[in-house]
Copies of this chain bind each other. A is one copy, B any other.
Amino acid sequence: MAIDFTISPGSAAPIFKQIADQVRLAVSAGKMVEGEALPSVRALAEKLLVNPNTVAKAYADLAADSTIETQAGRGVFVGRRRQMYTKAERHRRLKPHLDALVTEGLLLGFTVEELTAAIAARAEQLLPQEPK
């Protein structure tokens, strides 16, 4: 299934990260599977009305953590999902997001229980079919 890419130019997140995160979301949710093709750099740039370099940067970001694989002259494809990091590294990579959610959540007045419930709810929403 193809992604319906959208960007919000006024957002705090940079455009290339918005694009990359939409791909990560789709892969994480199982909407895109291994080997599936992504739109070409130029095609996506044209659709989103951004510079091709910006899309290329998003794809480079995704290739850096093996979410996708680029084959020069052929295109861009979803990579194989694999456990590539050690346990310590996985926690280290999760921590910034954990910190951001907890500090923002507490500042907004959410309780710990509300936050954990929100996590569980969002995860259920993303993984209704429990992909392996």
Q: Which residues of B contact A93 (CB under 8 A)?
A: 104, 108
Contact B83 A109 (CB under 8 A): yes
- A94 and B100 form a contact (CB under 8 A): no
Whether, in the assembled complex, A41 has its beta carbon less than 8 Å from a beta carbon of chain B, the answer is no
For chain A, the bracket of interface size reads: 35 or more
Closest B residue, CB atoms, query A54: B73
A127: B residues at CB distance < 8 A: 106, 112
B109 touches A90 (CB 8 A): yes
Closest to A92 in B: B84
A94 CA to B104 CA, complexed, in Å: 7
Residues of B near A98 (CB, < 8 A) are 101, 118-119, 122
Query: Of B29, B67, B83, B124, which is within 8 A of A86 by CB?
Result: B83
Give me 11 other A-B pairs in contact (C-beta within 8 A), A85-B85, A97-B105 excluded.
Answer: A24-B103, A28-B109, A67-B107, A83-B109, A84-B88, A93-B108, A94-B101, A100-B101, A112-B119, A112-B120, A115-B123
Interface residues of A (CB under 8 A from B): 9-14, 21, 24-25, 27-29, 64, 67, 69, 71-72, 74, 81-86, 88-90, 92-94, 96-110, 112, 115-116, 118-120, 122-124, 126-127
